[in-house]
Amino acid sequence: MTDTPLALPPQVNKAALTDYEQNVLDDLMRWQQQGPTWGTRLLAKPSGVTVKAVQSLVPVEALRLGLTKANQFARKMDDRRDVLKRSGLPNEIALGAQSLEASDRLAIQIARRAMVLGGVSGGVLGVTGVAGMAIDIPLLLTLALRTIHRTGYCYGELLDEAERERLAIGIFALASANNLDEKKQAFEALAQGRKVVDDAWRDGLERVAEREIAKDAAAYSVQTLASRVGLHLGARKGAGVVPILGALVGSSMNAWYLSDVSHTARRVFQWRRLTAAKPCEVPVAALPA
């Protein structure tokens, strides 16, 4: 499948937009035309050995079964009171009434908090290497979904349970897109109120697992590179460097991944706010079928 550009977001009455909202709309249009980040593309085509390792360690069937549970747990742990406290607003309705700029500032705070939590968990579990995957994979998945729910709350999104689940898993699939076509398909599903197809979220779940494989590979690669440039380590020191590097790599990759998820969630909720609040007089389809 070849990459094709995404359609523009639904048209809005630009005359009714503030300068900030217009800038956000322009950013959204550019973002829609951009492919995944280089880091996502780097992990997009793992070797056959890696794929087999991922599937043996974390079967897709198990991930499929656990996705709904993880999302349910993430909703329970979304800590709306914390978001409301950070906003300084009196109630949930006020969150939806605040300006887009204020919502964005609040969402960025939530993103930074998620990156810290992800970095800490990745660092602690990175020391254990492959053994830590069984814990880190579901934890990272739950943190990602929790971050999506908390981000939506920043924009005053008060949805029923079914819509919250559809939206969270849809954003998760969008953040996991390997190329522009996958991004387009995931965004179309979100825009049209459809659930993402099984392949989309399955690929996203496998990517979380692949990221765990990449953490160990990166840690060992850094160690090899260091030795090649003259950082000679004794046998005793060498034995301890891999856990240390594993912690550093695990921490940074978890934080980077949650940053990607947070950014994607912000874009989706910005789009929902702008297109819902100030639609054109003549309705325009969100995206082509």
Give the pLDDT of residue 263: 94
For residue 58, the model assigns a pLDDT of 53
> Residues 265, 154: contact at Cβ < 8 Å?
no
Query: Looking at residue 147, what is its pLDDT?
Result: 93
- Say yes or no to pLDDT of 43 above 80: no
Neighbours of 277 (CB within 10 A): 14
Token reading at 168: 């969270």
Domain boundary assignment for the chain: 52-277
Neighbours of 56 (CB within 10 A): 8
Which residues, at least 6 apart from 288, have a Cβ–Cβ distance to it below 8 Å? Answer: 7, 188
Most confident range (mean pLDDT) of 27-41, 81-95, 219-233, 236-250 is 81-95
Mean predicted lDDT score pLDDT of the chain: 69
Q: Which of 155, 208, 204 is CA-nearest to residue 176?
A: 204
In the prediction, which pLDDT does 122 show? 60
- In the prediction, which pLDDT does 287 show? 35
Please name the residues in contact with 51: beta carbons below 8 A apart, sequence gap of 6 or more: 206, 210
Report yes or no: 165 and 68 within 8 Å, Cβ to Cβ: yes
CA distance 142 to 21: 31
The string of pLDDT tens digits covering residues 54-78 is: 555 555 555 555 666 677 777 777 7
Read off the pLDDT of residues 120-157 as tens digits, 9 standing for 90 and up: 766 555 555 555 555 667 777 888 888 999 999 999 98
Give the pLDDT score at 97: 92
Q: What is the DSSP letter of 91?
A: S
For residue 163, the model assigns a pLDDT of: 81
Q: What pLDDT, on the 0 to 100 scale, is given for residue 100?
A: 96
Determine the pLDDT at residue 98: 94
Residue 110 phi/psi, 5-degree rounding, is: -65, -40
Q: At residue 217, does pLDDT exceed 50? A: no
Q: Report pLDDT for 214.
A: 45
The pLDDT assigned to 111 comes to 94
Angle formed by the axes of helices 161-175 and 180-191, nearest 10°: 170
Average pLDDT of the segment spanning 92-104: 93
Q: What is the reported pLDDT for 232?
A: 37
% of the chain residues with pLDDT over 70:
53
Task: Give whichever of 43-47, 94-98, 175-179, 202-206 has the largest mean pLDDT.
Answer: 94-98
What's the pLDDT at 110?
A: 94
Which is more confident, 45 or 185?
A: 185
Paired tokens of 262: 């947070």
Q: How many Å is the Cα radius of gyration of the chain? A: 20
What pLDDT, on the 0 to 100 scale, is given for residue 215? 45
